[in-house]
Amino acid sequence: MTSGTDQQVLVASEGDVVTARRRIREYAIAAGFSLTDVTRIVTAASELTRNLHLHAGGGRVSWKTVLDGDRVGMEMSFVDEGPGIADLERAFEPGYTSGRGLGMGLSGSKRLMDEIEIDSAPGHGTVVVARKWLR
């Protein structure tokens, strides 16, 4: 899998969540996604960016174009140095929440995106990578 140049937004406040959402929307439209897929991508980005803001005290959102054989897609990464997630399997269960929020962020984003990967350990932050392929 090869990839293009990263674009990124540092998330330190709620305003940054809105900025990240808007720039990801513009990028996804330019990449050629349908309006429904753009909405899926932006909504997943909103959930995962809010996780950075609420649970990790901020972090970094980046996105880029990825190529895999004939497939072209968009990959978003959500990186924080927050408390990390102890139970990764449970984190994907609908309704599982560590506190604020509905607990729909990870499980819901998984349904909206084609692929989602998470790497985390208590005390070592969390990295979530989410991909959507152009159809």
Q: Which residues bind other proteins (CB under 8 A)?
A: 14-15, 17-19, 21-22, 25, 35-36, 38-40, 42-43, 46-47, 50, 94, 101-102, 104-105, 107-109, 111-112
User: Closer CB to other proteins, residue 3 or residue 13?
Assistant: 13
- Three-class SS of residue 131? strand
| Residues forming beta bridges with residue 91, ordered by sequence position | none
What minimum distance in Å lies between the beta carbon of 48 and other proteins?
A: 10
Distance between CA atoms of residues 91 and 93, nearest Å = 6
What minimum distance in Å lies between the beta carbon of 121 and other proteins?
A: 25
Element (H, E) at 106: helix 105-112
| Residues forming beta bridges with residue 3, ordered by sequence position | 66
User: Closer CB to other proteins, residue 4 or residue 10?
Assistant: 10
Burial (CB < 10 A; 0-12, 13-18, 19+), residue 20, is: buried
User: Closer CB to other proteins, residue 35 or residue 69?
Assistant: 35
Largest distance between two CA atoms of the chain: 41
User: Closer CB to other proteins, residue 4 or residue 96?
Assistant: 96
